[in-house]
Structure 1
């Protein structure tokens, strides 16, 4: 499912990569963390230099901005189970990026120059930061959906209404560089921790942003995977209930 920008241009406002109306449980969503999914620098040195220039300009205007590591979306794979229910299994391909590079590529006024002509999303966006974000649809016990209004001091979409969310954080699972994985004797353990962070980060964001205790949240499932190719990278969406 693709939705075009309202002015009629061919650029996409978003692309729905995957949806699961009944949700994905934690065993059905996994992740592979590898440096092969990192951003590839652009061959244009002037374009690359603009990343730090854009970041410096943003920081001068808004001193509350700070850099931090993020998981980079590098694609996904999907398969169906062998059982009678034919459950879907999705594996996210994740690299490492940071907020500074996100601001300097995805939010760069010249963002189109970072793109590669390709129908394959990871190839098209191989020069962009494309951090993986998350968002939660929180339903209260009286069937209300929770929305928040963003601060005017954030780096993108200040003052807009949004669902609770943020990003899965590499630091939460001890990742600062890819050396973490190279030193690990068990790469499967690293990938398992990253996979768990996909769910735990959504719960953490909801607790931090709306102030409800984690014990009051139930039914954490992943419903969809959305590519916001030239704005926010990629985002996974989950559903939570506050009984």
Structure 2
């Protein structure tokens, strides 16, 4: 897929998956399997550094806590059935946790965990790679919601980002892989729903807008920040509230402490701000523009 270089390495990105027409949840499924989990690095000292770095971060910020996350291990495309030419996406997910993310992707030694390989899943097999999410939300007056990250957060402090975070395994009752899982189809369906429910939850918590004001999200792709090889799935949705009212709602947002300000900006203004977006979010913006171009040409 496409990649973008930059004078600022933190804004460089790679598009791992692009869905310009936008995929509803009916066309997104998951493959959830322990084989997609991270593979420990054969260098024992590098593996030990994960715990050492986590302990250092805990000393600096005792409020940090470990949490299970879905690990991104790639995707596959397939047709929905023989009579229907619409394609569907299967996201390949395993499990990881925040501690391992801090000790691999966010480690000063992160490049040592990479395997030289064109295959992205092999290249990143020793990485935690939790699948983040982000939402391009258009207001009723055709502005786009952008947040400025707090300086106290562990990732991209002070940067502009789209609302988002992570889908959560705990939301669907997953704490670890179960070898005796009776209802595999039901489990994967719940995880697939959590990909969509999770991004709605993040937008509501981070901006203060009610879920009832949002259209059903559509998946527009997956981007990866080249620095730290951080992957994130991006979704598009509209909000039936205008930008001035959203600014007022933001003051009461549940997770407002993660950001310091909400901006509702035009497409032109967003392009001007783009070099202050971390690479995975700049990739999200690129996916949004591909979606807009596809709509305009259809």
Residue 232 of structure 2, aligned match among 193, 212, 235: 235
2:89 is matched with which residue?
90
Change (3 A) 1:232 1:59: farther
The reply on whether 1:6 has 2:7 as its aligned counterpart is: yes
Any conservation in 1 of the 2:58–2:64 contact (CA below 8 Å)? Answer: yes
User: How big is the shift at 1:118?
Assistant: 0.7
Residue 208 of structure 2, aligned match among 211, 219, 239: 211
Separation (CA, whole Å) in 2 of partners of 1:65 and 1:158 = 15
User: How big is the shift at 1:80?
Assistant: 3.3
The structure with more helix, counted as a fraction of residues: 2
1:201 is matched with which residue?
198
User: How big is the shift at 1:34?
Assistant: 0.7
Any conservation in 2 of the 1:102–1:128 contact (CA below 8 Å)? Answer: yes
1:130 is matched with which residue?
129
**Could you give the per-residue CA deviations for residues 56-84 of structure 1, whole angstroms, max 9, x where no partner exists?**
11121122321100000111101234577
**TM-score (norm: length of structure 2):** 0.76
1:108 is matched with which residue?
107
Separation (CA, whole Å) in 1 of partners of 2:6 and 2:103 = 22
Cα RMSD for the two superposed structures: 1.9
- Three-state SS of the structure 2 residue aligned to 1:64 is coil
**Could you give the per-residue CA deviations for residues 152-209 of structure 1, whole angstroms, max 9, x where no partner exists?**
2211111211000000100000000002xx2321211111110000000000000100
**Structure 1: gaps of 5 or more residues:** none
The reply on whether 1:50 has 2:49 as its aligned counterpart is: yes
Report how many residues are paired. Answer: 239
Moved more, 82-91 or 55-64: 82-91
**Could you give the per-residue CA deviations for residues 93-127 of structure 1, whole angstroms, max 9, x where no partner exists?**
10000011001001111111101111100100000
Any conservation in 2 of the 1:38–1:97 contact (CA below 8 Å)? Answer: yes
Change (3 A) 1:114 1:5: farther
Separation (CA, whole Å) in 2 of partners of 1:39 and 1:47 = 14
**TM-score (norm: length of structure 1):** 0.93
1:117 is matched with which residue?
116
Alignment of 1:129-208 (within 5 A): 129-179=128-178, 182-208=179-205
- Three-state SS of the structure 2 residue aligned to 1:149 is strand
Any conservation in 1 of the 2:70–2:169 contact (CA below 8 Å)? Answer: yes
Separation (CA, whole Å) in 2 of partners of 1:47 and 1:233 = 19
Separation (CA, whole Å) in 2 of partners of 1:241 and 1:214 = 11
**Structure 2: gaps of 5 or more residues:** 241-298
